[in-house]
Amino acid sequence: MGTGFFGKVLWINLTEESFEEETVSEEIYRQYLGGYGLAVKFIFENMPVKIDPLSPESIFGFFPGLLTGTAAPFSGRYMLAGKSPLTGTWGDSNSGGTFGPEIKKCGYDAILFKGAAKTPKYVLIIEDKKELLDASEIWGLDIIETESILKDKHGKFIKTAAIGQAGEKLSKISGIANDRGRIAARAGLGAIMGSKKLKTLVLKGNKKISIYNKDKFLDLVKIYNKNGKKGEPGKFFKSILKSVPNLAKTLRRFRIGFKGPPNIIRKIYRIYGTCVGNTIASETNDSPIKNWSGIGMYDFPFKKSKALSANKIIKYKIREWGCYGCPVQCGGILKIPELNLEETHQPEYETCCSFGALLLNNDLMSIFEINELCNRAAIDTISTGATIAFAIECFENGILTKEDTNDLELVWGNSKAIIELVKMIINRKGIGDILADGSKIAAEKIGNESVNYAITSLGSEIPMHNPRFFPSLAFTYNYDPTPGRHTAASIDYIDMGSINKFQKGFKLPKGWKKNEKKKQKCQKLVTSFHQVLSSVGLCSFSTLFGPYPFIDLINNFTGWNISIDELIEIGLRIQTLRQSFTLREGIDIANNKLPGRVSGHPPDKRGPTKGVSVEYEDFYKGYCYEMGWNPKNGYPLKETLKDLDLEFVIKDLY
């Protein structure tokens, strides 16, 4: 066994209340790395086909990345994976903070669950002690209350990943939260944990991660972090940075978007976090407006969106917050006296937009309050906001009435009603019970043309970036094996960073933007690279900040001599297996179709994305060809499966 990994994963059988370690060979790490890679290998091979994801037979797990727990910058993430209760497809989601490293400190490269407990339980792993304990005292509590009680009981250094009320009530848009409100939110995986009556994992490890060439590894980290401090913007630039969120109209006029030199982007992330996009994305029409039916500069213009400006948000910041080992620290902890909130996580762009521009709501206090409510309940803010947008449009069109909504006046921008509806969804009260599983399932129950207002891909609410602005997002939203995700690799979206500078040897071919064939090849490359990045445990933002010693860190960690080509092949293997999982479940992903509002059918008649309709079907066919998949149905060809050492898939697909 090499170094850099523990060579074992932990299986917890909740029915039998047993713990079992499984040894993993070095070859598996070399083929799948960790994170999403290990996840798809284990879950594909162990999950019974076409079962209900909320049944005891369903398996799911926590998978830290290969480098998670080390000093490698941005490497603190863990991935959750299983079959999505929301879409029935492959489901994965990830979160930063400090929980991922703790899994490693417990001596495991993953923790997987099968079976289901009869009564609420939590898993306690402290050093070498492993127990399944009664959770009746914390069942029904939110994730912050849960963490506080468990810290009193087991010590302040424990780390938890818990479901809140949403997961307990099997909401298909619920997630799992660590660090008092950082959520692996998408794909509805919190409901799986709820169905297994598993409230939380409580971890405190004492194992050291072995590093093949520790001195060199730490040198690489030191140099990277030192270089990151260079190029600090001068006084002039700093004063410009202060006004970035207010430059929204100028950025739109000159079509500047979000690009910029890595040191400036780094600084912007550090100062503002992702909510720097609140005003800019709204103005440029990257943000979906009014349930995807509006145009930012007319329906939610700067004079309105500026109420949600990042400048206004960071006024409440009392300290920086970031994930384990991150030199940027893009998060923040806020104190909101108006809401009696001593400490709350700074809302991310996705949250601000889901409850802001999407609902024409510019009441900043309501965004803070909703963010705290959703974090505590561990529910996905994208899906919750989008489902409320759906409900408002149903109300506007007489499909829902005050009788259905407990007298709530569900109109655009009514922040009080929006807050109440969030609470009803979390607690499955009244109409909230129908909405708690997302808009597609709600539309099936409500009927009456309401399906027209459910803006989803295979049931997953579409995130807060517009394919009319980043065209290849239509492709990833529609066709990724976990559909409806902005964090899947879309070439246009990824191009906003400095991907070409990130790792020596990884370069997109010149002229790809103007040549469809080249663009499809690039899409294959970034899809693979993105899978590798996640499997190593790196935050997607890491590619925005300039050159990174990616391969050198992996090799000095493991003792391998891996090349960029081998890494690309690993990424292809992971994506092909994710695809195979979704196909094996009987999902006809190749014939999926986005709502016309998302792809611009019909196109906008005015505004920054006037006349833009995104055609993505032919692009997918070309991409399938590049991936070695059948362009007609997305099935990986047998030869491709053999070439990628995925022969075991053939019997399932053919």
Identity (one letter) of the amino acid at 643? D
CB of 209 closer than 8 Å to CB of 104: yes
Structure tokens, 10:
């932990």
Rounded least distance, CB 545 to ligand SF4, Å: 8
Q: For residues 4 and 322, which CB has a smaller minimum distance to ligand SF4 in the complex?
A: 322
Q: Which 327-356 positions form the footprint of ligand SF4 (CB under 6 A)?
A: 328-331
Taking residues 518 to 547 in sequence order and writing x for each that binds ligand SF4 by CB under 6 A, - otherwise, the string is ---------------------x-x------
Nearer to ligand SF4, 117 or 352 (CB): 352
**DSSP symbol at 207:** P
Site size for ligand SF4, by CB under 6 A? Answer: 11
Q: Which stretch binds ligand SF4 (CB under 6 A): 138-146, 159-167, 318-326, 606-614?
A: 318-326
Report phi then psi at 543, rounded to 5. Answer: -75, -5
Is 502 among the residues that bind ligand SF4 (CB under 6 A)?
Answer: no
Is position 96 an interface residue for ligand SF4 (rule: CB under 6 A)? yes
Radius of gyration of the chain, Cα coordinates, nearest whole angstrom: 23
- Contact positions with ligand SF4 (CB under 6 A) in 69-88: 74
Element (H, E) at 147: helix 143-154
Q: Does 276 bind ligand SF4 (CB under 6 A)?
A: no
- SS3 state at 291: coil
For residues 333 and 346, the answer to whether their CB atoms sit within 8 Å is yes
Please state the closest distance from residue 375 (CB atom) to ligand SF4, in A.
15
- Residue 323 near ligand SF4 by CB under 6 A: yes
Residue 401: exposure state from Cβ atoms within 10 A (0-12, 13-18, ≥19) = exposed
CB distance 57 to 103 below 8 Å: no
- Say how far apart CA 271 and CA 544 lie, in whole Å: 15
Cβ distance to ligand SF4 smaller for residue 329 or 427:
329
- Closer residue to ligand SF4 (CB): 205 or 322: 322
The first and second tokens of residue 137, run together, are 């005292």
Q: How far is CA 499 from CA 112, 333, 543, in A?
A: 33, 29, 5
For residues 520 and 522, what is the distance between their CA atoms, to the nearest angstrom? 5
- Enumerate residues 6+ apart whose C-beta is below 8 A from 50: 585, 586
By three-state DSSP, how is residue 400 classified? coil
Closest to ligand SF4 by CB, 75 vs 523, is: 75
Q: Per CB under 6 A, does 427 bind ligand SF4?
A: no
User: CA–CA separation, 440 vs 418, rounded Å?
Assistant: 19
Q: Which is nearer to ligand SF4, 94 or 195 (CB)?
A: 94
Q: Which is nearer to ligand SF4, 212 or 541 (CB)?
A: 541
Position among 181, 322, 537, 571 found at the interface with ligand SF4 (CB under 6 A):
322
Comparison of 174 and 542: residue with beta carbon closer to ligand SF4: 542
Residue 544: CB minimum distance to ligand SF4, A: 8
- Closest approach, Cβ 77 to ligand SF4, in A, equals 7
- CB of residue 96 vs ligand SF4: minimum separation in angstroms? 4
Q: Whole-number minimum distance, CB 541 to ligand SF4, in Å?
A: 4
Containing 123, the helix (H) or strand (E) segment is strand 121-126
Find, among 108, 114, 118, the residue nearest to 47 by Cα: 114
Q: Residue count of the chain, please give it.
A: 654
Question: Per-residue string for binding with ligand SF4, 598-637, x by CB under 6 A?
Answer: ----------------------------------------
Min separation Cβ 379 and ligand SF4, Å: 20
Which of 84, 66, 62 is closest to 75 using CA atoms? 66
Residues near ligand SF4, by CB under 6 A: 74, 96, 322-323, 326, 328-331, 539, 541
